Structure 1
Amino acid sequence: MKLEITFQNNVIEYILNKIAALGLLIFIMCIYLISRTGFDLNEFTEYLSNIKIWGLICGYALVMTMLIDLVKHKWIDFTLKTSILLHCLAGFIVFFPFMGIHLFSLIAGSVGALCAFIYSISYYFIKKKNHFVWIVLLVFPLLLSIRLVDFTIKEEWTEEKTKSSFSAEFERFNGKHEIPLPLEKGDIVTIYISFDQINEGGYGYHISDNYGDLVGIKELEKTYKEYGDIDTKPIQFEAKKTSVYKLIVTGDNLKGKIDVKWKID
């Protein structure tokens, strides 16, 4: 009985250490991302919002590290340096089956190898410092809570909306604004978007479904006469299911006006 309890405790400790090392890696990645955005919390939360990508990263890292440990435990007893090299190799080669062999996949593979190296070192560090495990494990709920916070900034924002249009004027818009579009399956939506940009701020837009997944759109060549000389972005998409879709307009310290009109066929 004591042997069984000891084995269970060792397995639990092993899994917690692996997850904690992954948390430390993600924490380091987040430090890089937030510094890369110039400490723009809104842009940083956009990076965090793609749960599928983060899930793939975490899942692949855990599967590969456990496979490497299994090989070491069952067949070949190799050194720490060899283990680190195998982790780096796993991080490097993962991109090639999907991207092929070219410059971008080599760059992505190098980044993957670096992340794998950090993960290996993190696991070695955490095994030596077990009292850090629970602190590092807090990374996951912390990031999940941060991504739910909307850091959008709207200064002197005034908007008007109807059943088929939306417009807003503002002194500063940094973040996102969602325009709901309740649609039936098979509806074809044509949207005319106009950004009247006063300063050098950036802007963009995309469509998502009620699960937050991006919806494919096509750009149209025709323009909308009401806009006159203002640059217009006419797009169209078909609702694949009955749902509340969202047109999400984004601003990067933008000053000006946004006009949106849509029609549903």
Structure 2
Amino acid sequence: MNLRGKLNNHPWVYILNKLAALGLLVFIMCMYTILSTRFDLYEFTESLSNITFWGWICVYALMTTMLIDLIGYKWKKFTIKTSIVLHCILGFIIFIPFMGVNFYAMIAGSVGALCAFIYAFSYYFLVKKNRLAWTFLLVIPILLYIRPMDFTIKEGWTEEKTKSSFFAEFTRFNGKNEIPIALEKGDLVTTYISFKEKNGGGYGYHILDNNGELAGMTELDEPYEDYDTIAFQFKAKKSGIYRVVLTGDNLRGKIDVKWEID
């Protein structure tokens, strides 16, 4: 049945097939992410936390595919090959207004075109596979369900906390550990962090405000007692609970944190 027939007789089937194709595209992207992180579930769920990124992918995919179908419905009927090519073109050019014409835009555009190809091909494939289409409709709800889960791994973990310090020693730390600090509006926090790794594992840190957004901070050059690592400041724009987030990538060692509130 052609597009006109689908829209006239079963418009909801058309919409569900579009959503199923989107689910298949997201599934393939997630499989790539899992493989590239070597099945690190913490890193995978962190990649899902960027709702804006995934949201724009979904919205743009649905808008462009429906625009192409609308043109074919109203003015000129496209072959499947032509429709797929148009999807790829729109997947490529979306980056040019934001990045200009340069090497990085070409790389991003090529990735966008590949994703558009997968989406368009998935739609035409799933149209003939009704049961399979229903399966891929579940992909996005399942990802939204697992996104908030914390897959942090802590082995041999011991910690000590005070009102102005935190210390942890561990044999393996893969994920994140949050240190909550209650602040009043205008408080200036000076923080000192020492990572002492014993196995070459990765580590990092950032600050989240009371809304869960990244808080701006300024790195300092001043030393603090026997600290040989990072010193920085951030200011509380609103009263609430702020969090110093420590991250480890299969890290073994110690973390020592101290902070002063002015």
TM range (shorter): over 0.9
The one-letter code of the counterpart of 2:223 is: T
Task: For residue 185 of structure 1, report the CA deviation from its aligned partner.
Answer: 2.5
Task: For residue 48 of structure 1, report the CA deviation from its aligned partner.
Answer: 1.1
The one-letter code of the counterpart of 2:104 is: F
Equivalent in the alignment of 2:238 = 241
The one-letter code of the counterpart of 1:166 is: F
Task: For residue 106 of structure 1, report the CA deviation from its aligned partner.
Answer: 1.1
Task: Tell me which moved more, 123-132 or 233-242.
Answer: 233-242
CA distance in structure 2 between the aligned counterparts of 1:210 and 1:15, rounded to whole angstroms: 39
CA distance in structure 2 between the aligned counterparts of 1:78 and 1:47, rounded to whole angstroms: 36
Equivalent in the alignment of 1:132 = 132
**CA offsets, 1:167-212, max 9 Å, x none?**
1011111111111122222222221111011111111111123443
CA distance in structure 2 between the aligned counterparts of 1:14 and 1:187, rounded to whole angstroms: 55
Equivalent in the alignment of 1:85 = 85
CA distance in structure 2 between the aligned counterparts of 1:132 and 1:63, rounded to whole angstroms: 23
3-state SS of paired residue (2:10) = helix
The one-letter code of the counterpart of 1:73 is: Y
Equivalent in the alignment of 2:261 = 264
Task: For residue 46 of structure 1, report the CA deviation from its aligned partner.
Answer: 1.0
CA distance in structure 2 between the aligned counterparts of 1:25 and 1:9, rounded to whole angstroms: 26
**CA offsets, 1:119-147, max 9 Å, x none?**
00001111111222221111112112222
Equivalent in the alignment of 2:3 = none
The one-letter code of the counterpart of 2:217 is: I
CA distance in structure 1 between the aligned counterparts of 2:183 and 2:66, rounded to whole angstroms: 45
Runs of 4+ displaced beyond 3 Å: 6-9
CA distance in structure 2 between the aligned counterparts of 1:188 and 1:216, rounded to whole angstroms: 12
Task: For residue 9 of structure 1, report the CA deviation from its aligned partner.
Answer: 6.2
Tell me, yes or no, if the aligned pair for 1:224 and 1:232 is still in contact at 8 Å: no
Residues 211 and 130 (structure 1 numbering): CA distance in 2 closer, same or farther, change over 3 Å?
Answer: farther
3-state SS of paired residue (1:57) = helix
Equivalent in the alignment of 1:200 = 200
Tell me, yes or no, if the aligned pair for 1:184 and 1:242 is still in contact at 8 Å: yes
Equivalent in the alignment of 2:35 = 35
The one-letter code of the counterpart of 1:186 is: G
Residues 9 and 190 (structure 1 numbering): CA distance in 2 closer, same or farther, change over 3 Å?
Answer: farther
Q: TM-score, normalised by structure 1?
A: 0.92
Task: For residue 261 of structure 1, report the CA deviation from its aligned partner.
Answer: 1.0
Tell me, yes or no, if the aligned pair for 2:7 and 2:14 is still in contact at 8 Å: no
**CA offsets, 1:53-101, max 9 Å, x none?**
1111111111111111111111222221111111111111111222222
Equivalent in the alignment of 1:164 = 164
The one-letter code of the counterpart of 1:225 is: E
The one-letter code of the counterpart of 2:86 is: L
Equivalent in the alignment of 1:178 = 178
3-state SS of paired residue (2:143) = helix
The one-letter code of the counterpart of 1:248 is: V
Task: For residue 8 of structure 1, report the CA deviation from its aligned partner.
Answer: 7.8
Equivalent in the alignment of 1:67 = 67
Task: For residue 7 of structure 1, report the CA deviation from its aligned partner.
Answer: 5.9
The one-letter code of the counterpart of 1:65 is: T
Equivalent in the alignment of 1:255 = 252
Give aligned-pair identity as a percent. 65
CA distance in structure 2 between the aligned counterparts of 1:254 and 1:8, rounded to whole angstroms: 58
Task: Tell me which moved more, 96-105 or 255-264.
Answer: 96-105
Task: For residue 102 of structure 1, report the CA deviation from its aligned partner.
Answer: 1.7
RMSD: 1.6
In structure 2, stretches of 5+ residues that fail to align are: 1-5
In structure 1, stretches of 5+ residues that fail to align are: 1-5
